[in-house]
Amino acid sequence: MFQAENAGFMHKTDLDGFDRRLLLALQQDGRLSNVELSERVHLSASQCQRRVKRMEEAGVIESYAALLNREKIGLGVMAFVNITLERHGVASAQAFREAIGHCSQILECWSVSGEADYLLRVVAADLKTFSDFLLYELQAMPFVATVRSNILLEQMKATTALPLPSPPDQE
């Protein structure tokens, strides 16, 4: 019998209207105190705390973080980089996974379908630093066949807030 957990699938957690309002408020400002949160969603502070704790334990809320302005800390270049491996298989994929794990310039790495095997989101101080990273780190990996990059010019939209679907009873 096929089990979803073994295939890497996650079970959907049922969220009611209060849970959704809590999540929307926390996505807008993760630093809200429990009292401020309770005022925004019209629940008691103790109910808010219980619900948030339940959603943290269920993995709905993964973590809290400060979002930094990359340009203000000296990271003026961001790019998407497509990587195609020389050979396909578990060993190549594992070697690639281990190698990129040590690269702090790589913010995200996705296994993708299509022409490339992986899509990376990379930051660098400037074009020279980015070019050196491509040449001396990514292209130097023995299992990497091709590297194609797109420098990001202007950000038209950015959000970390996920859209929350309506509860089934409101559809």
Tell me the torsion sign for CA atoms 22, 24, 27, 32: negative
- What CATH number corresponds to the domain at position 108? 3.30.70.920
Residue 43 belongs to a domain: yes
Residue 166 belongs to a domain: no
Residue 11 pLDDT exceeds 90: no
Q: Are residues 62 and 83 in the same domain?
A: no
Instruction: Write down the pTM of the prediction.
Output: 0.82
Q: Are residues 78 and 118 in the same domain?
A: yes
| Tens of pLDDT, residues 38-52 | 999 999 999 999 999
Q: Are residues 85 and 62 in the same domain?
A: no
Q: What is the DSSP letter of 117?
A: S
Domains held by the chain: number: 2
Give buried/exposed letters for 50-61 (b at 16+ CB in 10 A, else e): ebbeebeeeebb
Residue 162 belongs to a domain: no
| Tens of pLDDT, residues 12-31 | 778 999 999 999 999 999 99
Residue 8 pLDDT exceeds 90: no
Token readout for 95 is 């070697």
Mean pLDDT of 123-127: 98
- What CATH number corresponds to the domain at position 62? 1.10.10.10
The residue range of the domain holding 39 is: 14-66
Residue 169 pLDDT exceeds 90: no
pLDDT mean across residues, the chain: 90
pLDDT recorded at residue 168: 63
Residue 6 pLDDT exceeds 50: no
| Tens of pLDDT, residues 77-105 | 999 999 999 998 999 999 999 999 999 99
Residue 46 belongs to a domain: yes
Mean pLDDT of 126-134: 98
Q: Are residues 88 and 118 in the same domain?
A: yes
Q: How many CA atoms lie within 13 A of 154 on its CB side?
A: 1
Residue type, 89: G
pLDDT recorded at residue 100: 95
Q: 82, 143, 88, 130: which is closest to 109 by C-alpha? A: 82
